[in-house]
Amino acid sequence: MHLLCEIEKRTDMSQPNDPTQTSAQDGAAAPYGGVPPAGGPARRRKVTVRTIADMRQAGEKISMLTAYDATFAAAADAAGIDSLLVGDSLGMVCQGRTSTVGVSLEDIAYHTQCVSRGLEKSNGAALLVADLPFGSYHRSADQAMASSIRLMQAGAHMVKLEGGGWTTETVRFLVERGIPVCGHLGLTPQTVSALGGYRVQGRDEDGAAKLLRDAGELDQAGASMLVLEMIPARLAAELTGAMNSCATIGIGAGSGTDGQVLVMHDMLGLNIGKMPRFVRNFADGSNGVQASFAAYARAVKDGSFPVDAQHAW
């Protein structure tokens, strides 16, 4: 817990031209918690697109967690999480909305900057992925490019977009221009209205075949990662085996994917409503937030989370 409680003691955090930062000359430590100091404990090597590909190749499970601000980002990174996702789930967990549809590009850019600063100040290693929100990539590849530039300039290392088929050419367009991309198939929350609710996808033969086809196309188009949300475990494992180079990251997709992602508030047991089946509360029995993050990272790495019979379909 020291990460979240310790008063910031470093003096190198102050930005000369930023009046909101406490200056070193003030002689006072900045209040309100703060991110852990850079260069403290042994630091990991930066996680890059290449690292992700190597982990997939080596069969090392990839841990991903959502993050929305500097302090939690630094704590998750220090706990050994491989990748942080500034998800449009922030619409629910930060903004109190009922869906992700109202989240704007500027909302994501703002939270990406916050997370990026947390990683920078703590000399963090995690790969930072930012969601392209609803409406920010749907019109054209040019629009997707402009939105991606905004998020990359806010500090993202990769952008994530939802959907298959129509997104393939957009993914190719971005990847060819140097923007690493993570896809998202299965339950795609931005189109929850069209899907008729938050329900498991790919249960019937046609749905499963479409998911396999869409995933193959995203892989071919150069997507580095692919989130698979709420699809049957057996299908997710088959799809993962069929990928050429793209790493699959499951959420409610069973244990056969290359990695796992959870929404931070859910795995800390802070979900106000009914906890989704695919979540484990890692704060239960853990000593504080960072220990919960570390328990999650460990459970993903050693394969003890998720348990198919319990967390998947």
Closest CA to 269 of 252, 282, 285: 282
Tokens of 69: 């601000």
In angstroms, the CA 46 to CA 5 distance is 26
Binding mask 123-162 for ligand KIV (x = CB under 6 A): --------x-------------------------------
Q: Around 133, how many Cα atoms within 13 Å sit in the side-chain half-sphere? A: 22
Q: How far is the CB of 137 from ligand KIV (least distance, A)?
A: 14
Choose between 85 and 200: whose C-beta lies nearer to ligand KIV: 85
Cβ-proximal residue to ligand KIV, closest one: 87
For residue 164, state whether it binds ligand KIV (rule: CB under 6 A): no
Rg (CA), the chain: 19
Count of residues near ligand KIV by CB under 6 A: 10
Q: How far is the CB of 104 from ligand KIV (least distance, A)?
A: 14
Name 182's bridge partners. 160, 225
Region 223-262 residues binding ligand KIV, contact defined as CB under 6 A: 227, 251, 261
Q: How far is the CB of 183 from ligand KIV (least distance, A)?
A: 11
Choose between 78 and 263: whose C-beta lies nearer to ligand KIV: 263
Binding mask 51-80 for ligand KIV (x = CB under 6 A): ---------------x--------------
In angstroms, the CA 218 to CA 268 distance is 32
Choose between 124 and 189: whose C-beta lies nearer to ligand KIV: 189
In angstroms, the CA 237 to CA 231 distance is 10
- Asked if 51 and 247 count as a contact pair (C-beta separation under 8 A), the reply is no
Stretch that binds ligand KIV, among 71-79, 82-90, 113-121, 143-151 (CB under 6 A): 82-90
In angstroms, the CA 249 to CA 207 distance is 19
| Cβ neighbours for 305, distance < 8 A, ≥ 6 positions apart | 260, 280, 296, 299, 311
Stretch that binds ligand KIV, among 16-24, 84-92, 218-226, 238-246 (CB under 6 A): 84-92
Residues serving a catalytic function are 229
Region 260-289 residues binding ligand KIV, contact defined as CB under 6 A: 261, 263
Stretch that binds ligand KIV, among 81-89, 115-123, 172-180, 270-278 (CB under 6 A): 81-89
Choose between 30 and 185: whose C-beta lies nearer to ligand KIV: 185
> Tokens 């790919």, residue?
202
Neighbours of 96 (CB within 10 A): 8
Residue from 88, 107, 217, 258 touching ligand KIV (CB under 6 A): that is: 88
- Residue 66 sits at φ, ψ, to 5 deg, of -75, 150
Q: How far is the CB of 24 from ligand KIV (least distance, A)?
A: 37
- Residue 260 sits at φ, ψ, to 5 deg, of -135, 150
Hey, what long-range contacts does 143-146 have (CB within 8 A, 24 or more apart)?
Answer: 144/170, 144/173, 144/174, 145/173, 145/174, 145/177, 145/179
Residue from 87, 180, 250, 252 touching ligand KIV (CB under 6 A): that is: 87
Residues lying near ligand KIV in the complex (CB under 6 A) are found at 66, 85, 87-89, 131, 227, 251, 261, 263
